[in-house]
A and B are shown apart, each in its own frame.
Chain A
Amino acid sequence: DAGVTQSPTHLIKTRGQQVTLRCSPKSGHDTVSWYQQALGQGPQFIFQYYEEEERQRGNFPDRFSGHQFPNYSSELNVNALLLGDSALYLCASSLATTGTDTQYFGPGTRLTVL
């Protein structure tokens, strides 16, 4: 049973650049959520995708955008990178129809902005 996978593992960018992170959900899951985790803090919700649409969004600027594909995989895009965007970006998947909403996390992508 394949768990949540994310790519790349690590990424280094400079201020002003754009980045795309990728996530494949756990087998059988149809919902993908993205979180940002700064060092020493808990994850902060960015947004959730279900049926290829953004269903819910946290308190993040429009520089953060996403997409969900028909195979349920997802991308997180961040434009005009700032130093403060350096963090671990986590993807979590769940199955919307079960009602349990349990979200399972991937290993994350460590983004460093210089």
Chain B
Amino acid sequence: GESVGLHLPTLSVQEGDNSIINCAYSNSASDYFIWYKQESGKGPQFIIDIRSNMDKRQGQRVTVLLNKTVKHLSLQIAATQPGDSAVYFCAEESNDYKLSFGAGTTVTVRA
């Protein structure tokens, strides 16, 4: 079936280091991808998005990479801070308006 999944359920990173969160998707028809951050007790917060006609997009301290050949998406966070500790979800959308989420990666930043 179609699904969006993350390679690792947890990631521990030292404060100040760079973080890389990976995601694999299976629906080749998906043309829009979003990374969300969810802190405990809150709703998902939009981080960055990318369309299938791009392979890289940069934001403030974050970069999303899309490899359509292997259906892989990654989120890179530069100079990880304690406030980056959260669950990160990748989500995909095709032409049916709904977002499909994976199970998420829990990022813990060590001081």
Chain A residues near B (Cβ < 8 Å):
4, 33, 35, 40-45, 48, 55-56, 58, 90, 92, 100-108
Contacts of B44 in A (CB 8 A): 43, 90, 105
Nearest first, the 4 A-B pairs at minimum CB distance are A42-B101, A105-B43, A45-B98, A56-B97
Give the nearest-CB partner of B49 in chain A. Answer: A102
Contacts of B104 in A (CB 8 A): 41-42
Q: Main SS of chain B's interface residues? A: strand
- A57 vs B102: C-alpha distance in the bound complex, in angstroms? 18
Q: In which size bucket is the chain B interface?
A: 20 to 34
CB distance A102 to B98 under 8 Å? no
Contacts of A102 in B (CB 8 A): 34, 46, 49
Indicate with 1 or 0, residue by residue over B68-110, a CB within 8 angstroms of chain A CB atoms: 0000000000000000000001010100111111111000000
CB distance A105 to B45 under 8 Å? yes
Contacts of B4 in A (CB 8 A): 42
Cβ of B32 to closest chain A Cβ, rounded Å: 6
Contacts of A107 in B (CB 8 A): 42-43
Contacts of B36 in A (CB 8 A): 105
Interface contacts beyond A41-B104, A106-B43, A108-B43: sample of 19 additional A-B pairs, CB < 8 Å, sorted by A: A33-B97, A33-B98, A42-B89, A42-B91, A42-B103, A42-B104, A48-B97, A48-B98, A56-B96, A56-B97, A90-B43, A92-B99, A100-B49, A101-B93, A102-B46, A102-B49, A105-B44, A107-B43, A108-B42
Contacts of A105 in B (CB 8 A): 36, 43-46
